[in-house]
Amino acid sequence: MSASTLNDLLAEGVSGRTVLVRSDLNVPLKDGTVTDDGRIRASLPVLEKLTGAGARVIVAAHLGRPKGAFDPEFSLEPVAHRLSQLTEARVTGIDSQLPLAGEEARAAVAQLGDGEIFMLENVRFDPRETSKDAAARAEFAAELAALTGENGAYVNDAFGAVHRAHASTTDIAKLLPAYQGDLVAAELKVLQRLTRSPQRPYTVVLGGSKVSDKLAVIENLIPKADALLIGGGMVFTFAKAMGYGIGKSLVEEDKLDTVKSFVALAEKHGCQLIFPTDIVMAASFSADAEHEVLPVGELENGAHGDQALGLDIGPESAAAFARQITASNTVFWNGPMGVFEMAPFAAGTRAVAQALTDCPGFTVVGGGDSAAAVRALGFDESSFGHISTGGGASLEYLEGKDLPGIDALGAA
């Protein structure tokens, strides 16, 4: 059974109806200000389609991992403020004194006019949102559903949250007519293209700090990809498994045997594993640290010996990665090549991002730090085929796992 879509809901008519939209607004904050509004902007099209059609929209979202109670550090107030700057619709809500659900919340939502948005506080301030007790989640979901009154509806547009069986992503879909938001539909279409019918050559570029975060993705994609490029902090677990000295670089000792098995798996499936041949080694984890480029076999032979740590792939590796990427017809990239937040160690990530923009094929930036890097380094987002907002949900899909929030919508 295929899911009902936002277009189906709009065709039914939403003027005067209250629609609860689960959005993904889990954005980074600093000193109470949104520092990367990519997910807010990605959520706008669905919200504005609904408000433009006269719906009264309730936005439910989470931020961070509060422990089931109000915590000002995780308040969505800065997000609501930024949303109000980006949309012409009137945005109200976000009151730390107002319960997330119940009579007071219903009374507040009842003041909404057609085409207006009411943003709830962080749904994770209620412990029932993430409870392992199905009855508790169902109770909270029923209270959220009640906010929509008669003839309400639910739209899940939070792909970044669909891998969690939470009250606002799965349980509520059983209580209201449920629809798949455009952002969710777009993410699914892209991920299905990557796993079912990629145009070849198909190259996967993986980075980030820990190989443990990507183990299942690597295992599941090796049989599907033509080439797998390894960068970021995970390089050093592979390098140590291959017998190289890595100084003080990040390593996961308990994953050495696992990464060795990936080499054999790649050989079995004809997937080319491409590792960095040079690394930027630094004296310390600091933007002003002394650093030098060393061949991967000599990482402990530089100025700082076995006390050095690797913070980026080197220029030779970056060029090789770029050549592979631009020669591909499909590219999926998840995870930076180095500590891109520090200018001396951003070149590898920049080179990969640039190669994706130069690639004539279909390119996907896999959300999270990769998407943040694209924006932080000043790239035009329209230069990429798709920038995911999925984060962990995208990775779990690529691992071959079921996504509860998608299953709840009846999507294949």
- The CATH number for 290's domain is 3.40.50.1260
Nearest by Cα to 179 from 53, 48, 55, 6: 6
Q: Does 356 appear as a known binding residue? A: no
Same-domain check for residues 363 and 391: yes
Does 191 map to a domain? Answer: no
Domain boundary among the residues 182, 217, 235 is at 182
Sign of CA dihedral 251, 253, 256, 258: negative
Listed in sequence order, the residues at least 6 apart from 66 whose beta carbon sits closer than 8 Å to its beta carbon are 73, 74, 122, 124, 125
The verdict on residue 409 lying in a domain is no
Cα–Cα separations (whole angstroms), residue 329 to 116, 224, 362: 43, 14, 6
397-409 confidence digits (pLDDT tens): 888 888 999 999 9
Based on the fold, state whether residues 84 and 207 are members of the same structural domain: no
Give phi and psi for 53, each to the nearest 5. Answer: -95, 5
Q: Is the pLDDT of residue 368 over 80?
A: no
The pLDDT of residue 269: 96
Compute how many other C-beta atoms are within 10 angstroms of the C-beta atom of residue 90.
13
Q: Write down the pTM of the prediction.
A: 0.85
User: Where does the pLDDT of residue 388 fall: very low under 50, low under 70, confident under 90, or very high at 90 and above?
Assistant: confident
User: Would you say 323 is a known binding-site residue?
Assistant: no
Does a structural domain hold residue 405?
Answer: no
* 303 in the same domain as 164: no
As a whole-number percent, the residues of the chain with pLDDT over 90 amount to 83
**C-alpha span between 14 and 389 (Å, rounded):** 26
The answer on pLDDT for 188 being more than 80 is yes
Which SS3 state, helix, strand or coil, does residue 364 take?
strand
Tell me: is residue 106 an annotated ligand-binding position. Answer: no
Rounded to an integer, the average pLDDT of 362-384 is 89
Q: Which domain holds residue 114?
A: 6-182
Q: Is 214 annotated as a binding residue?
A: yes
- Position 356 scores a pLDDT of 97
369 is in an annotated binding site: yes
User: In a 3-state reduction of DSSP, which class is residue 328?
Assistant: coil
Q: Which residue has the higher pLDDT, 326 or 104?
A: 326
Q: Indicate the helix (H) or strand (E) that contains 365.
A: strand 362-365
> Are residue 143 and residue 228 in the same domain, yes or no?
no
To the question of whether residue 26 is assigned a binding role by annotation, the answer is yes
| DSSP letter for each residue of 112-156 | PPTT-EEEPPPGGGSTTTT-S-HHHHHHHHHHHHHTT-TT-EEEE
**Are 83 and 143 found together in one domain?**
yes
- Please report whether residue 411 resides in a domain: no
pLDDT digits (tens, 9 = 90+) for 264-316: 999 999 999 999 999 999 999 999 999 999 999 999 999 999 999 999 999 99
**pLDDT score at 394:** 86
86 and 131 in a single domain? The answer is yes
Asked whether residue 160 falls in the same domain as residue 223, the answer is no
**Residue at a domain's end among 155, 182, 209:** 182
335 is in an annotated binding site: no
Which of 145, 155, 143 lies closest to 50, judged by CA? 155
| DSSP notation for 209-275 | S-GGGTHHHHHHHTTT-SEEEE-GGGHHHHHHHTT---TT----GGGHHHHHHHHHHHHHHTPEEE-
- The tokens for 315 are 């220029």
Instruction: Kindly tell me if the per-residue pLDDT of 22 is higher than 90.
Output: yes
Nearest partner of 61 among 126, 113, 9, 139, judged by Cα: 126
220 is in an annotated binding site: no
Report pLDDT digits (tens) over 45-84: 999 999 999 999 999 999 999 999 999 999 999 999 999 9
In a domain, residue 407? The reply is no
Residue 214's pLDDT is 86
Based on the domain organization, do 160 and 236 belong to the same domain? no
Residue 149 corresponds to which tokens in the numbers above?
A: 């009154």
Among the candidates 182, 214, 246, a domain finishes at: 182
Q: What is the pLDDT of residue 251?
A: 93
44 lies in a domain?
A: yes
Contact (CB, 8 A) for 137 and 370: no
Residue 411 is predicted with a pLDDT of 52
Q: Other C-beta atoms within 10 Å of 260: how many?
A: 13
pLDDT at residue 99 tops 70: yes
Mean pLDDT of 212-229: 91
The set of catalytic residues is 39, 210, 368, 392
**Please, what is the average pLDDT of the chain?**
93
Q: Given a cut of 50, is residue 412 above it in pLDDT?
A: no
Residue 344: inside a domain: yes
**307 in the same domain as 270:** yes
Both 229 and 151 in one domain: the answer is no
pLDDT of residue 57: 98
Say if residue 140 is in the same domain as residue 206: no
For residue 194, give both structure tokens: 């990557």
78 in any annotated domain = yes
The number of residues making up the chain comes to: 412
Looking at the structure of the chain, the number of domains it has is: 2
Query: What pLDDT is attached to residue 153?
Result: 98
Looking at the structure, do residues 176 and 204 belong to the same domain, yes or no?
A: no
3-state secondary structure (DSSP) of residue 289: coil
Among positive and negative, which fits the CA dihedral 177, 180, 183, 184?
A: positive
Q: Are 9 and 22 in contact (CB under 8 A)?
A: no
